[in-house]
Structure 1
Amino acid sequence: METAEPILDVAHLGHVELLTPKPQESLGFFRDILGMTVSGTQGDSVFLRGWDDYETFSLQLTAARTSGLGHAAFRTRSPQALERRLAALRADGVPVTTVEGHFGHGMAHRFRDPDGHLVELYYDTQWYEAPPERRPALRNQAERYPARGVNVRRLDHYNCLAVDVAACREFFQRNLGLRCTERIVFDNGVEMGMWLTATNKSYDVAYGREANGVQGRLHHITFALDSREAILQAADTLLDAGIPIENGPHKHAIQQTFFLYVIEPGGNRVEFAHSGARLVLAPDWKTITWSQAERNKGQAWGLQLTDSFRTYATPPLPEKNKS
């Protein structure tokens, strides 16, 4: 049987926008505790970057009434690739809106996935130019190592909740060409989680099932650190800064990511992760499907996550919907 030609038009996850009701406290967390660099401001937003993000920013922090995901943005591989994906979205009946004048990149095109999360595609971007005092000795590095706080290297992925996980997976596969590396399917046939990639990383975006019927919620965003030891050092840094650790340090069974989770002052969950040398190089990778029994065994070393990991997301649930 002939294999369908893979769609490789999406290059990578470019940035995420976090909404925060406590903009100054959130800014202090990402800038001073995580060691991110402020690239600029526009309106109610501050734009920040990890020290090895090649683009001008990877995090847009926007003052808002509540917490949650403003939007997630993917860069395409070329202007032609962008046009192909926009044509695919429109052919699928997806409304697309064009946004101009954005900080740090050119024209962007926004649409919503089946769960209502706002997604953006763009190609034209502004590469980061370090000022003289931030220029690294290594020319292949975007910026000098900050030696400040957690020292996050780059944005890695984001994780949302969805009422219908399978519908979101199929949407991203069909319209953006993302590949599903792993997923969870329970005994009743319901897809409880999925992990998608546009790159040779094992995932750029993940979705888990939202049990309360509320659409458009964010579970967490994730920054990559250099090593497992850096995750352990981050735990000490966060402890000294008075930031409670929600989960970890530990290792996920699915995707084998070494992780640490905290809640930033605005209420959003943030993960620090190291995935080691694990890459998906096989062009014909076969999706790993985990069963309910396998999932119930807990994380890689048998420990369970806290209850809040399964119940808390942003924006918070309305009181009447809390289970």
Structure 2
Amino acid sequence: MSNFDIAQLAHVELYTPKPEESLKFFTDYMGLQITAREGQSVYLRGYEDFYHHTLKLTEAKEAGMGHVAWRASSPEALERRVASIQQSGYGKGWIDGDLGHGRAYQFVTPDGHNQEILWEVDYFQASADQKTLLKSRPQKRPLTGIPARRLDHINMMCSDVAKNREFMSEQLGFKLREQIIVGENQELGAWMSVSPLVHEVALMGDQTGNSGRFHHIAFWYGYPQHLMDLADIFAENGIKIEAGPGKHGVSQAYFMYVIEPGGNRVELFGDSGYLIFDPDWKPLVWREHELNEAIIWYGSPLPNEYFLYGTPDKPAKVPVIK
């Protein structure tokens, strides 16, 4: 089975109990563009996202991830991966589609995260006043907020990182790029991709004993000065900056984490990082004595809540280390 059947992260649906406040965060501050509204959902995209939308924001009782969608690399690749998922026992079935894309096959990870895989997508069409002469960009750069350029990756919290990593590898063809292992063989984190990116998905051990929770969605902003500008805007408007700016050892990412008004964690990701072109790449393993460098290459330490808080927010099922 081809390792290139999944092409990319297509879109993410986030739930929010504060739809208007969350929408203001993503549009007024982060500069995402609204492409449609339907029912209790608003569809948005970064100005360098080519598809109809990359974020679906849906009103709900509590924060969390509604689903994540992966685009296959061809109609045939879609069918191959659906067959593999069905054999795994984690398949849910086909839907006719949603605003912005055609039919999709829905499934869950071993931890219960809702996923779908699709091929047919609608492409964003800029209005006359938003068309740009820069042919590699689907629209002009917005004049609102400090605009995020594109969707980058997601991080899902797992009760069993290894089991979910194996599923992403065997059923979807993801390649393991980096991982954290402590003790004899306890896997605390895995970073995986289907492209030269370091990761489109990260899997993080949920220390609270819960399963199926969401850790963060990440948007690529591109330039360091934009991160500083955005930090200033967030501070002035009461948006909680959880951590950063700083740099991770894993992925070499320059980062800032914030909690949007609905309760979901959002990462502003970019600038440094690295790309993987080696077809024989060997996964990088960070051990227990290297955790400090893996998590924070430079910058202030991450707060304890970073490792415990996810959405939906649930009480811990097991004692946690403070």
Inter-partner Cα distance in structure 1 for 2:90 and 2:304 = 36
Please tell me the root mean square deviation across aligned C-alpha atoms, in Å: 1.6
Residue type at the aligned position of 2:6: V
- Check the 8 A contact 2:90/2:107 in 1, yes or no: yes
Q: Corresponding residue for 1:314?
A: 311
Q: CA deviation at 1:29?
A: 0.8
Q: Does 1:148 align with 2:155?
A: no
Name the residue aligned to 1:192. 188
Moved more, 301-310 or 202-211: 301-310
User: 1:113 — aligned with what?
Assistant: 109
1:1-323 residue pairs with structure 2 within 5 A?
7-276=3-272, 278-297=274-293, 298-301=295-298, 303-318=300-315, 323=320
Q: How many residues align?
A: 319
Aligned to 1:32, the other structure's residue is in SS state: helix
Cα shift readout 1:82-115 (whole Å, capped 9, x = no counterpart): 0010011112233231112401000011100000
Shift of 1:277: 6.0
Q: Give the CA deviation at 1:6.
A: 5.2
Q: Distance in 2 between matches of 1:211 and 1:18?
A: 22
Give distance in 1, aligned partners of 2:316 and 2:186.
Answer: 26
Query: Does structure 2 conserve the Cα–Cα contact (< 8 Å) formed by 1:247 and 1:305?
Result: yes
Q: Report the CA distance between 1:74 and its aligned residue.
A: 0.5
C-alpha contact 1:227 1:276 (8 A) present in aligned 2: no
- Cα distance, 1:278 vs structure 2: 1.2
1:53–1:153 CA contact under 8 A, matched in 2 = yes
SS in 1 for 2:177: strand
Deviation at 1:275, TM superposition (A): 4.5
Q: Which structure 1 segments of 5+ residues have no match?
A: none
1:91 counterpart letter in structure 2: Q
Percentage identity across aligned positions? 39
* Contact 2:70 2:117 survives alignment (8 Å): yes
* Contact residue 90 and residue 110 of structure 2 kept, 8 A: no
CA displacement 1:206-227 (0-9 Å, x = unmatched): 0110122211101100000112
Q: CA-to-partner distance for each residue in 1:30-78, whole Å, 9 max, x for gaps? A: 1111111111012211100000000010000010010001001110111
Q: Quick one: distance in 2 between partners of 1:210 and 1:320?
A: 10
The AA in structure 2 aligned to 1:80 is: E
Contact 2:209 2:316 in 1 (8 A): no
Letter aligned with residue 248 of structure 1: G
Decide whether the 8 Å contact of 2:209 with 2:317 is kept in 1.
Answer: no
> 1:39–1:47: 8 Å Cα contact kept in structure 2?
yes
Question: Quick one: structure 1 residues 320 and 80, their matched pair in 2 at CA, closer, same or farther if it must change by over 3 Å?
Answer: closer
Q: Give the letter for the 1:311 counterpart.
A: L
Aligned to 1:110, what secondary structure does the other structure show? strand
Length-normalised TM-score, structure 1: 0.95
Whole-Å separation in 2 of the counterparts to 1:6 and 1:203:
18
**Cα 1:319–1:8 shift into 2, 3 Å:** closer
**TM value normalised by structure 2:** 0.95
